[in-house]
């Protein structure tokens, strides 16, 4: 299989402010009146291909004129494309080894062109394919289990010596118990309905080639899972054995995606704080914020970015009053280099961290 463009997005180019993400099928047509932006979309897409000859993006010529003075930045994005790289291509071209990618999944390569005339790339392991496959499999299994589950009728024993009035009252209570505490036909139908609606919503909005590039994408997906999790949770006492594995899976995915979104939000707020500390020239806090950004990138497995911020933090810490402030940063840098396959630098910063921990009474326990 060849690399395939799955989605693209054009921004800040000619007459296009933001096209939003557009899915690409085997045949994709651009339809519109003259001067509506069809050619602009194609020209912007060509900036993702250095072989196209269009690599020089110019501020005055290409940025939307109505926003040029107010919105232009050197790193303003022009085009983004999500390319699916199939497993056989990954293995044939040694991509996993060259880029130190351990997971055995198909990959999404995201290319981004911008007004600084740089073409940035990022590999996103296609976790969504894993999510989608696991949910699909357990969804079908769970529906089948619920469908096969026997109906259970709550029985209430009535003493023979109760009078007729007491019997009638007890029968009313029995009916209420049956509806609330037993796996009856209506309960069974409602659980299956929830599963079927979820299946339809899932396949209407997502497929195995979907990825969540933006935090909002993950929040929307998590919201869908959370809704079905809550709806099914109401019936857990009636079918705990049948529902447990499926609900556990939903909760694990929600948690994993929430963690990733929180880290990306943290990076955003860290960077805003960094601008403030740089403006007021507070080097101690600036160093701490830069280190925090590095940790957030490390958690997201964006190791190259983490290394860049860790190195920057060490440089800033060297100008602070406490020479031991950067001991944790040296150790984090050691771990980042180790994960990146650079054992020489990993050893260097491990020794540095150890030396600083030994000299600092407050950190001696970390040795």
Domain boundaries, the chain: 4-125, 128-261, 282-366
For residues 308 and 192, give the distance between their C-alpha atoms in angstroms, rounded to a whole number: 51
CATH of domain 4-125: 3.40.50
Q: Which pTM value belongs to this model?
A: 0.43
pLDDT digits (tens, 9 = 90+) for 178-205: 445 578 899 999 999 999 999 998 888 7
Q: Are 35 and 15 in contact (CB under 8 A)?
A: yes
Q: Is the dihedral of CA 46, 51, 53, 59 positive or negative?
A: positive
Q: At what angle do helices 327-339 and 303-317 cross, to 10 degrees?
A: 160
Sites in the chain below the pLDDT cut of 70:
1, 51-55, 96-106, 123-130, 152-181, 207-216, 258-266, 269, 277, 280, 321-325, 360-367
Which value, to the nearest 10 degrees, does the dihedral of the CA atoms of residues 208, 105, 111, 50 take?
Answer: -110
CATH of domain 282-366: 1.25.40.10
Q: Are 10 and 78 in contact (CB under 8 A)?
A: yes
Which value, to the nearest 10 degrees, does the dihedral of the CA atoms of residues 291, 294, 299, 303 take?
Answer: -150
Nearest to 250 by CA among 101, 92, 134, 334: 134
Residue 78 is predicted with a pLDDT of 94
For residues 84 and 210, give the distance between their C-alpha atoms in angstroms, rounded to a whole number: 10
């Amino acid at each position: 299989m060849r690399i395939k463009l799955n989605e693209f997005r054009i921004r800040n180019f000619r007459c296009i402010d933001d096209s939003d993400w557009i899915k690409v099928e085997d045949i994709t047509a651009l339809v519109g009146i003259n001067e509506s932006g069809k050619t602009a979309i194609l020209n912007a897409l060509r900036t993702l291909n250095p072989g196209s000859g269009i690599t020089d993006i110019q501020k005055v010529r290409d940025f939307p004129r109505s926003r040029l003075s107010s919105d232009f930045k050197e790193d303003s994005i022009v085009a983004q494309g999500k390319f699916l790289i199939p497993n056989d291509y990954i293995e044939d071209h040694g991509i996993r080894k060259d880029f130190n990618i351990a997971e055995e999944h198909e990959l999404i390569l995201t290319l981004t062109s911008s007004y600084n005339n740089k073409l940035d790339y990022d590999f996103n392991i296609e976790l969504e394919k894993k999510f989608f496959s696991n949910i699909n499999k357990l969804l079908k299994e769970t529906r089948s289990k619920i469908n096969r589950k026997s109906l259970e009728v709550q029985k209430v024993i009535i003493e023979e010596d109760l009078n007729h009035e007491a019997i009638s009252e007890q029968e009313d209570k029995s009916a209420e118990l049956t509806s609330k505490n037993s796996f009856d036909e209506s309960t069974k139908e409602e659980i299956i309905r929830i599963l079927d609606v979820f299946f339809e919503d899932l396949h209407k909005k997502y497929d195995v080639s979907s990825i969540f590039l933006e935090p909002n994408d993950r929040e929307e997906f998590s919201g869908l899972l959370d809704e079905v999790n809550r709806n099914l949770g109401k019936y857990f006492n009636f079918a705990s054995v049948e529902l447990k594995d499926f609900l556990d899976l939903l909760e694990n995915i929600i948690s994993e995606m929430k963690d990733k979104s929180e880290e990306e939000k943290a990076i955003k707020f860290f960077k805003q704080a960094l601008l403030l500390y740089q403006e007021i020239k507070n080097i101690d806090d600036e160093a701490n914020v830069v280190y925090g950004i590095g940790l957030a990138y490390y958690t997201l497995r964006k190791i190259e970015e983490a290394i860049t911020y860790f190195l920057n933090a060490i440089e800033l810490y060297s100008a602070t009053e406490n020479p031991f402030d950067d001991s944790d940063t040296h150790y984090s840098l050691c771990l980042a280099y180790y994960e990146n396959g650079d054992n020489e630098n990993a050893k260097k910063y491990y020794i540095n961290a150890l030396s600083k921990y030994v000299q600092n009474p407050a950190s001696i326990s970390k040795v």
